[in-house]
Structure 1
Amino acid sequence: MFIFVLQTIWLYIGELAGKDLDTEIILKFLLYFSPKLVPLVLPLTILLTSIMTFGNFAENYEFAAMKSSGISLQRAMRSLTVFILLVSVTAFFFANNVIPAAEYKSINLRKNIAKLKPAMAITEGVFNDLGTINIKVEDKSGDNGQYLTDVIIHKKTNRSGNFTVIKAEEGELVGSTDSDVLSLILKDGNYYDEVQASDYSKRRNKPYLKSYFDEYTINLDLSDFNNVDLEDESYSNTQGMLNISELRQSIDSFATSHNEKKRALTENMYQRTNFDNIAVNLNPSDSIKEIENTILEEYDTYQAVQIVNLSLGSVNGALSHLNIKKSELKNSTKQLNKFEIALHEKYVLAIACIVLFFVGAPLGAIIRKGGMGLPMVVAILLFLTYHFIGIFAKNSAEDGSISPFMATWLSTLIMLPLGIYLTYRATTDQGLFAFDNITEPIRKALKKAGIIKPKRKID
């Protein structure tokens, strides 16, 4: 956990450093983020410690002493198996209750930091992107850095370029924890607005409007600025904040909404065809080209062209509408898949603890190495395989390439046969791989071919 917390600090050092944050707030940041690391840390910990423990037993001939006393490997693993079952049950309740609460706390802490300390978004001496403006200040002061000196602001517009500039001697940031709006109060300044003349020749003179103000207030919407969680995902992606019952309700709601959208799209596309209003009797034996020529021949050239253009416009409009709805349905499907993945992850953590224990314990008994050397290397390689398979599968499940259930359980299902195989090999006192089963048939074939001569018996 300590190693992964250090990695978290390294990943988010850019968001914590230079923000004038109190030590208490930074510790809360790490405290609320730490539970989210448990699904990553706990399986690796169980895998590593089981390899180290049973590797030490085997290396120091403890298993040999146990077997000479009539204690089998299954009996030696019995107490730890019970302990791992308790750990897995605890991990399930932890994932269902503690992690969602920590996710909720971490996101809201981040949101409150920006409101209680709004100056954290502004660095002195450089332009800072803050919502709809780019702002540069020479100096900050006050307990929360809310008082600004020598303020320069460029307002963002839909046009390319900076056409509105505001300069002020002083400024003050005023925020409230009950609102997503941050007020920037400017004092003793000027407002410059470049005029875009309709005549291009007049634009070369760069005309502008200038006004002076004693006090000017800019209200900034911080919802987009704050709506980023600690994993750089959208704030609306709140599946990590829900427990199992809430996830099930959300999935039902999303599924109902998704099906309703598909039904509405089907009805809309059917209405666009206008089939109900067509009163022309078509002969099934006629080809489409013959029907088209027969219809258009009833009109003169101008009217026929108008009909064709109108038809093409209707088709293009329908295709455009279909593409937009297709994108909406894709996003809806992705959101639904994320919630289903979050639901299955609650169960996977508990099962993964058991499966990885039965991978690590017999593997340690087979390789007969304890300590932090070879067991650490083997555990990391196995866990990286387990972890990356899970990541790739979940990424594929978000866009619907595979089912969320299979994506979430895939890495655990792959490790399950490995655990069964290693447990069988360890309990039957066999090596990691049965090389004799491979080499013996080859040796016999070479003997029959005369390449290898059989050994002579000496009386």
Structure 2
Amino acid sequence: MKILDRYILTSFLKTFATVFVILFFIFILQGIWLFIAELAGKDLDAWLVVKFLLFYSPNIVPLVLPLSILLASIMTFGNFAENYEFAAMKSSGISLKRAMRSLTVFIFALSIVAFFFANNVIPRAHYKFINLRKNIVQRKPAMAIVQGQFNAIGNFNIKVDKKSGENGEKLEGVTIHKRLPGATNTTVIRSKTGLLRSSENDNLLQLELFDGYYYEEITTKKPAERKKVPFAKSSFSKQVMNIDLTMLNNNDMDKEQIAHTNTMLNLKELVYTIDSLESNYSKERQSITDNITNRINLTLSKPKIINPILDKKIVDTTEVANTLAERDSVPDKLLALFDTNEDKNRLLEIASNSLNSSKFVISSGQNQVREKIKSINSHWHSLYEKFVIGFACILMFFIGAPLGAIIRKGGLGLPIVFAILIFIIFHFINTFGKKLAQENGIPPFLGAWMSSFVLSPLAILLTYRATNDIGLINMDNVLLPLQKLAQKLFKAKSKEAK
């Protein structure tokens, strides 16, 4: 490696490392702010918090890495141009393209590393992170009761309107839904106030409820009684409930319980999962179609006789005559077949119920198909996104390096403005494309690569203008037409004055 290449590479690496560390900690602080409710008040040890941040940190690399490359490129080449180092290189016969050669090799190598990082490290870290979040919430169920929303603890869903007291043990407006696994009946308990008692060394969460009542559904074997939806109601002045927390407090912090999602799969697993999802989608779609077809008593096969005139096949004339006679025998108004209004109303009611039932089946089938399509598109988008991360590193370099050489400004002033503006556009298009692809508005490939397609012309334009010393904007092309227009106007006014 020549001295010049080593100097350019060293200058870039120093700037890149500094920018990456600063941005990394900024995004980490943002993550802490987002998940502060899950960490605060849980009496967690320091190592558990470190694991939480350690598993979260790989998820922000796809955001930090391209932005760091963009900002470091603008700052490095801006410093070279501002300090007339590029002028010295050009006077020695070294072009900008030649100066970028060593960094280009480094950025291509970094993009390959980014791909493998996105394919292997990020899915595993995200998998660990989701499981750790779940286990932290279950570690302290007494602290997991958040007011204003239902909190699942064991077989109970507990909602509290207001919490008070030093440790939030005094409750107001308590609503509890209880359902045992495999049971069809449900118990709903309401109380005006309550008192929460729990201990870290105890496996019981004790709830003392005051001035309340409960409803309990009653299961009966008689169909006629079941239609009446029987229930039992009772009131109480005080009731003590003990919730067994043995299974929750014995959870290992490293126990993996969450099922895989598209963000937790590598490339090979995504291909296998997409194949399974598409196969299930085809079967589900065919099943829904058959179900709807059978409900309305239609067949998808072509009838033997559609129209005896248009059908060129030789058919039995007697069969055709019978078919036409049967068709013509059906009256235009089916209600004319019934004499009494009661029979007519019953017919209309049956038709209405049949239509509503078919409408519900069709709507339910559409929702199922839509959710499966959304899941397939999400997995395809995650697959393409692993390649986009690597390409984004190359793209940001070929935007930042020529832009820094053109604006000729280093430091943390103007380069930060350009870097943030470009990255906001990149991130916004990425998010927009992802949402649009998930909703099946555009193909997942286009949704994942949309930001790259939009910004690639900018990278090509900036690289072309910087390597040919054209500049960002040729002001003469803007000012000369205005100058000529002004001269014509002044000449016209002077002639009128004479």
Q: Shorter chain as normaliser: what TM range?
A: 0.7 to 0.9
Supply the distance in 1 between the matched residues of 2:214 and 2:388 (Cα, whole angstroms).
61
Could you say which residue in structure 2 is the equivalent of 1:417? 457
Judging changes above 3 Å, is the alpha-carbon distance between structure 1 residues 190 and 305 closer, same or farther for their aligned structure 2 residues? closer
Residue 194 (structure 1) aligned with residue 234 (structure 2)? no
Could you say which residue in structure 1 is the equivalent of 2:436? 396
Residue 69 (structure 1) aligned with residue 92 (structure 2)? yes
Equivalent position amino acid for 1:354 in 2: I
Structure 1 residue 63: deviation in Å? Answer: 1.1
Supply the distance in 2 between the matched residues of 1:344 and 1:160 (Cα, whole angstroms).
47
Could you say which residue in structure 2 is the equivalent of 1:319? 359
Equivalent position amino acid for 1:340 in 2: W
Structure 1 residue 44: deviation in Å? Answer: 0.3
Instruction: Please tell me whether the aligned partners of residues 187 and 214 of structure 2 are also in contact (alpha carbons under 8 angstroms).
Output: no
| Structure 2 unaligned regions, length at least 5 | 1-23, 179-185, 217-232, 249-257, 306-321, 493-498
Say which is worse superposed, 154-163 or 249-258, in terms of deviation. Answer: 154-163
Instruction: Please tell me whether the aligned partners of residues 96 and 243 of structure 1 are also in contact (alpha carbons under 8 angstroms).
Output: yes
Residue 93 (structure 1) aligned with residue 103 (structure 2)? no
Equivalent position amino acid for 1:58 in 2: A
Judging changes above 3 Å, is the alpha-carbon distance between structure 1 residues 68 and 395 closer, same or farther for their aligned structure 2 residues? same
Q: Provide the identity percentage.
A: 43
Could you say which residue in structure 2 is the equivalent of 1:107? 130
Judging changes above 3 Å, is the alpha-carbon distance between structure 1 residues 157 and 25 closer, same or farther for their aligned structure 2 residues? closer
Judging changes above 3 Å, is the alpha-carbon distance between structure 1 residues 379 and 160 closer, same or farther for their aligned structure 2 residues? farther
Could you say which residue in structure 2 is the equivalent of 1:143? none
Could you say which residue in structure 2 is the equivalent of 1:361? 401
Residue 163 (structure 1) aligned with residue 190 (structure 2)? yes
Residue 21 (structure 1) aligned with residue 61 (structure 2)? no
Equivalent position amino acid for 2:204 in 1: L
Equivalent position amino acid for 1:325 in 2: G
Could you say which residue in structure 2 is the equivalent of 1:184? 204
Residue 431 (structure 1) aligned with residue 471 (structure 2)? yes
1:70 is paired with a residue whose SS is coil
1:372 is paired with a residue whose SS is coil
2:332 is paired with a residue whose SS is helix
Could you say which residue in structure 2 is the equivalent of 1:328? 368
Could you say which residue in structure 2 is the equivalent of 1:46? 69
Could you say which residue in structure 2 is the equivalent of 1:130? 151
Say which is worse superposed, 104-113 or 91-100, in terms of deviation. Answer: 104-113
1:429 is paired with a residue whose SS is coil
Equivalent position amino acid for 1:65 in 2: A
**How big is each residue's C-alpha offset from its partner over 1:137-162, in whole Å with a ceiling of 9 and x where there is no partner?**
9677xxxxxxx988999442499995
Structure 1 residue 108: deviation in Å? Answer: 1.7
Instruction: Please tell me whether the aligned partners of residues 55 and 367 of structure 1 are also in contact (alpha carbons under 8 angstroms).
Output: yes
Say which is worse superposed, 313-322 or 76-85, in terms of deviation. Answer: 313-322
Supply the distance in 2 between the matched residues of 1:275 and 1:89 (Cα, whole angstroms).
56
Judging changes above 3 Å, is the alpha-carbon distance between structure 1 residues 282 and 209 closer, same or farther for their aligned structure 2 residues? farther
Structure 1 residue 212: deviation in Å? Answer: 7.1
Judging changes above 3 Å, is the alpha-carbon distance between structure 1 residues 388 and 151 closer, same or farther for their aligned structure 2 residues? closer
Supply the distance in 2 between the matched residues of 1:331 and 1:360 (Cα, whole angstroms).
40
Judging changes above 3 Å, is the alpha-carbon distance between structure 1 residues 212 and 102 closer, same or farther for their aligned structure 2 residues? closer
Structure 1 residue 404: deviation in Å? Answer: 1.4
Instruction: Please tell me whether the aligned partners of residues 118 and 173 of structure 1 are also in contact (alpha carbons under 8 angstroms).
Output: no
**How big is each residue's C-alpha offset from its partner over 1:266-321, in whole Å with a ceiling of 9 and x where there is no partner?**
11111111136x999468998xxx96535443332444443333222211110111
Equivalent position amino acid for 1:133 in 2: I
Judging changes above 3 Å, is the alpha-carbon distance between structure 1 residues 90 and 291 closer, same or farther for their aligned structure 2 residues? same
Equivalent position amino acid for 1:109 in 2: L
Supply the distance in 1 between the matched residues of 2:337 and 2:32 (Cα, whole angstroms).
76
Equivalent position amino acid for 2:436 in 1: S
Q: Which of the numbers 257, 272, 277 marks the counterpart of 2:280?
A: 257
Structure 1 residue 263: deviation in Å? Answer: 0.9
Instruction: Please tell me whether the aligned partners of residues 334 and 398 of structure 1 are also in contact (alpha carbons under 8 angstroms).
Output: yes
Supply the distance in 2 between the matched residues of 1:209 and 1:285 (Cα, whole angstroms).
68
Say which is worse superposed, 19-28 or 378-387, in terms of deviation. Answer: 19-28
Query: CA RMSD, aligned part only?
Result: 3.9
**How big is each residue's C-alpha offset from its partner over 1:340-379, in whole Å with a ceiling of 9 and x where there is no partner?**
1111110000001001100100011101111111111111
Equivalent position amino acid for 1:308 in 2: L
Could you say which residue in structure 2 is the equivalent of 1:268? 291
Supply the distance in 1 between the matched residues of 2:404 and 2:138 (Cα, whole angstroms).
52
Equivalent position amino acid for 1:208 in 2: S
Say which is worse superposed, 346-355 or 14-23, in terms of deviation. Answer: 14-23
**How big is each residue's C-alpha offset from its partner over 1:203-253, in whole Å with a ceiling of 9 and x where there is no partner?**
xxx97246877x84456997xxxxxxxxxxxx6672111101111111111
Could you say which residue in structure 2 is the equivalent of 1:208? 235
Equivalent position amino acid for 1:349 in 2: I
Judging changes above 3 Å, is the alpha-carbon distance between structure 1 residues 207 and 256 closer, same or farther for their aligned structure 2 residues? closer
Equivalent position amino acid for 2:176 in 1: K
Instruction: Please tell me whether the aligned partners of residues 174 and 194 of structure 2 are also in contact (alpha carbons under 8 angstroms).
Output: no
1:275 is paired with a residue whose SS is coil
Supply the distance in 2 between the matched residues of 1:59 and 1:89 (Cα, whole angstroms).
32
Residue 383 (structure 1) aligned with residue 392 (structure 2)? no
**How big is each residue's C-alpha offset from its partner over 1:106-141, in whole Å with a ceiling of 9 and x where there is no partner?**
112222323444444258xx898532124769677x
Supply the distance in 2 between the matched residues of 1:20 and 1:282 (Cα, whole angstroms).
82
Judging changes above 3 Å, is the alpha-carbon distance between structure 1 residues 195 and 400 closer, same or farther for their aligned structure 2 residues? closer
Instruction: Please tell me whether the aligned partners of residues 145 and 159 of structure 2 are also in contact (alpha carbons under 8 angstroms).
Output: no
| Structure 1 unaligned regions, length at least 5 | 141-147, 176-182, 198-205, 223-234, 454-459
Instruction: Please tell me whether the aligned partners of residues 127 and 260 of structure 2 are also in contact (alpha carbons under 8 angstroms).
Output: no
**How big is each residue's C-alpha offset from its partner over 1:375-434, in whole Å with a ceiling of 9 and x where there is no partner?**
111111111111111112211222111221111111111111100000000111101023
Instruction: Please tell me whether the aligned partners of residues 172 and 186 of structure 1 are also in contact (alpha carbons under 8 angstroms).
Output: no
TM-score normalised to the size of structure 2?
A: 0.72
Supply the distance in 2 between the matched residues of 1:443 and 1:283 (Cα, whole angstroms).
88
Judging changes above 3 Å, is the alpha-carbon distance between structure 1 residues 9 and 283 closer, same or farther for their aligned structure 2 residues? farther
Supply the distance in 1 between the matched residues of 2:415 and 2:405 (Cα, whole angstroms).
11
Judging changes above 3 Å, is the alpha-carbon distance between structure 1 residues 291 and 368 closer, same or farther for their aligned structure 2 residues? farther
Could you say which residue in structure 1 is the equivalent of 2:9? none
Instruction: Please tell me whether the aligned partners of residues 151 and 171 of structure 1 are also in contact (alpha carbons under 8 angstroms).
Output: no
Could you say which residue in structure 2 is the equivalent of 1:300? 339
1:297 is paired with a residue whose SS is helix
Say which is worse superposed, 51-60 or 255-264, in terms of deviation. Answer: 255-264
